[in-house]
Amino acid sequence: MRINWKIVGGAGSVISGIAVMHGLSTRKWRHIHTFGVALGIAAGIAPFVRRAKALRDMLEPEDGTSVTPKSGEPALR
């Protein structure tokens, strides 16, 4: 299942906005605001995690190859 992070971020913003409009004086609205902020943060971080994972997959050696130096060759530092 693919998650549309733009929609998740938008939902987090809407939830946080509603909580702020109703006031953060009660514990119920503070919890709802925290949930909305968490959604927004997750939606903001998701593209970076996706790019880092793609880069890591791209840099992994192929099956049957080795990254260790052969005997007699200097190791890379």
Concatenate the DSSP letters of all residues of 41-59 into one string.
Answer: HHHHHHHHHHHHHHHHHHH
Looking at the domain assignment, is residue 59 inside a domain? no
Question: How buried is residue 35: exposed, middle or buried, by Cβ count under 10 Å (0-12/13-18/19+)?
Answer: middle
The pLDDT assigned to 63 comes to: 62
Could you tell me the residue range of the domain that residue 10 belongs to? 5-54
Please, which pLDDT band fits residue 33 given cuts at 50, 70 and 90?
A: confident
Looking at the domain assignment, is residue 38 inside a domain? yes
The domain total for the chain is: 1
Looking at the domain assignment, is residue 67 inside a domain? no
The pLDDT assigned to 32 comes to: 79
Please, which pLDDT band fits residue 67 given cuts at 50, 70 and 90?
A: low
pLDDT above 60 for 77: no
Q: Name the helix (H) or strand (E) containing 30.
A: helix 27-59
d(CA 40, CA 56): 25
